[in-house]
Amino acid sequence: MDQLAHLSAGISILEITYVIASVLFIMGLKMLSHPLTARRGNILAAIGMVLAIIATILFHQKEGKPIGNIGLIIGAIAIGTIIGWLIARKVKMTAMPQLVSLFNGMGGAAAALISLMEFPHISNELIAKSGMANGQVLAILIGLMIGTVSWAGSMIAFGKLDGFIGDMRIKAMKYVNLSILAVLIGFIVFIMTRHVQASSELTPLIYIMFAVAVIYGVLFVMPIGGADMPVVISLLNSFTGVAAAMGGFLYNNQAMLTGGILVGSAGTILTILMCKAMNRSLLNVIVGVFGGGGQSNMAVTGSVKEISLTDAAVLLSYSKKVVIVPGYGLAVAQAQHICHELDRLLEEKGVEVKYAIHPVAGRMPGHMNVLLAEADVPYEQLIESDEINPDLPNTDVLIVIGANDVVNPAAEDDPSSPIYGMPIIKARDAKNIIVMKRGMGKGYAAIENMLFFNDKTRMLFGDAKGTLQNLVNEVKSL
């Protein structure tokens, strides 16, 4: 009786802890929706995860026995924590998309490993009663397929973002990927309809299914162009969440289930929003024929005109309204602090300064918001593109700092352009445009930006950090 009471108490504590952890996950996710509360939300979610891990180690029971190999578990957690801490401390903001992809891939790999380890341990008694057609087996197979695709796809996405893996464009790739996906579903149906084999007899099929899923994960990301990679990372992130939720079903772990559902649903919603922001099809993401590359057929008209630092400083200082469009070049140069110094100087002169933020500026959602928050730019100055576009015709000067595709008029004018239909910041509507770039290089989508040849555009060439510092000095001297 004492043992039963102790076991019951342990289960109750474990379930209560999982509920608390789930609440912390939800609160943390809610707080992540605003930069002012994002840090606190991240901490709350981390506390929830720590509670869930500790409770699982202390109170989880399987067949009346506590978890074994505690030393190995704690050692693995310690090693992972140290590695994750060091990577997160050293990574540059410009490499954040790669880091997100890498960490997401690790989550998918963990979910796939759970399935590979657990399938051989399915009870033969359970098979004799209901065959393979039961929730436990289905959770294992779905977790294996989705987790593996997420891991393999995330590793390819990491390589493409880091520049050491190129695109592979084959017209028939859509049909190849759909065929492989059908094979994976066939594996699940075949295994689920087996009623006589022991799980050990079907284990080789699991490893074949794993290999096929790896191939699919690689092939469906390979054709995708760099400009569209943020959407793919978001989709892969939702895959990892679903795979983790399958692990929660398998172990009857409410915290794991809740966390997986939150990640899966949030990733899916973000993917849909980003598809809308980039005028892409979610179906094309899944089958792997998603955007990227292509050349515009529109001829370049007009000429590039430069502006001096002194003229730029005068134009800005005597304006009433200035809008700054930050982009990847600003992040690379780590020029956000000097940029904020410039906007403060202009505000002291009575100039109203706002920042126009595109949903995928900096190559990941929220990237620019985080970057500018580092420099203490007030959140109220950061305006989403669809909100600020109507006000751009009344803007005296618009400064583009390191942005390219998100201000490219080809998205509206050129049906042959790979970014055609993508909502952009309508920079050309401003009265005057200053573009700060290192040179005339093309953007992430590798297409010409017609804004640079606009009659209202003046180019200010140079490294963003150095040029901004010189511009700040000129404004101060006026």
DSSP 421: T
- The answer as to whether 441 is a domain residue is yes
Residues 145 and 283 in one domain: yes
Order across the sheet with 457-461: list the strands.
382-384, 352-357, 321-326, 397-401, 432-437, 457-461
Q: Is residue 330 one of the residues assigned to a domain?
A: yes
Would you tell me the crossing angle of helices 35-59 and 367-374 to the nearest 10 degrees?
100
Instruction: Indicate if 122 and 75 belong to the same structural domain.
Output: no
Separation of alpha carbons 456 and 454, rounded Å: 5
- Chain-centroid distance of CA 463 in Å reads 27
Handedness of CA 257, 261, 263, 264 (dihedral sign): positive
**Domains in the chain: how many in total?**
3
Q: Answer yes or no: do 208 and 344 share one domain.
A: no
Report the CATH number that the domain containing residue 379 is assigned in CATH.
Answer: 3.40.50.1220
Q: Output the pLDDT for position 51.
A: 92
414 is catalytic: no
Q: Note whether residue 321 is domain-resident.
A: yes
DSSP 8-class letter at 288: T
Domain end point (choices 47, 75, 90):
90
Q: Is residue 186 part of a domain?
A: yes
Residue 1's pLDDT is 47
Answer yes or no: do 375 and 436 share one domain.
Answer: yes
Residues 345 and 420 both lie in one domain: yes
Closest by CA position to 60, among listed 255, 261, 258, 253: 253
Instruction: Give the domain-ending residue among 69, 90, 111.
Output: 90
**Looking at the structure, do residues 51 and 149 belong to the same domain, yes or no?**
no
In this structure, the chain runs to a length of: 478
Domain range enclosing 322:
309-477
* Residue whose token pair is 């939300």: 41
The answer to whether residues 186 and 131 touch, using CB atoms and an 8 Å cutoff, is no
- pLDDT, position 291: 46
- Where is the domain boundary, 90, 105, 135? 90
Residue 69 lies in a domain: yes
Structure tokens at 164: 């050491």
Instruction: Tell whether 130 and 265 lie within a shared domain.
Output: yes
pLDDT of residue 293: 47
Phi then psi for residue 417, to 5 deg, are: -75, 140
Q: How far apart are CA 293 and CA 295, in angstroms?
A: 7
CA angle, 89 then 90 then 91, to 5°? 105
- On whether residue 424 sits in a domain, the answer given is yes
354 and 468 inside one domain: yes
Structural domain contains residue 304:
no
Beta bridge partners of 325: 400
Contact by Cβ (8 Å): 53, 46: no
Read off φ and ψ for residue 280, nearest 5 degrees.
-115, 165
DSSP 327: -
Domain shared by 363 and 418, yes or no? yes
Tens-level pLDDT at each residue, the chain (478 residues): 445 454 455 458 888 888 899 899 999 888 887 777 888 998 999 999 999 888 888 887 665 677 778 888 899 999 999 998 898 888 876 677 788 888 889 999 999 999 898 888 775 555 555 555 577 888 899 999 999 999 999 998 888 877 777 666 666 777 888 899 999 999 998 888 875 555 667 788 899 999 999 999 998 888 776 656 777 888 888 999 999 999 888 887 888 888 899 888 888 888 887 777 666 677 765 655 444 444 555 556 667 788 888 999 999 999 999 999 988 778 777 888 899 999 999 999 899 999 988 877 665 666 777 778 778 888 888 888 888 999 999 999 999 988 787 888 888 777 777 777 778 889 889 999 999 887 655 555 557 788 888 888 888 888 888 888 999 898 888 7
CA–CA separation, 379 vs 79, rounded Å?
A: 37
The overall longest dimension of the chain from CA atoms, in Å, is 88
Residues 217, 140 within the same domain:
yes
Comparing CA positions, the residue from 27, 56, 55 lying closest to residue 43 is 27
Tell whether 331 and 418 lie within a shared domain.
Answer: yes
Q: Are residues 221 and 147 in the same domain?
A: yes
| Separation of alpha carbons 358 and 349, rounded Å | 27
Is pTM beyond 0.85? Reply is no
Establish if 236 belongs to a structural domain: yes
| Active-site residue (options: 228, 343, 405, 414) | 405
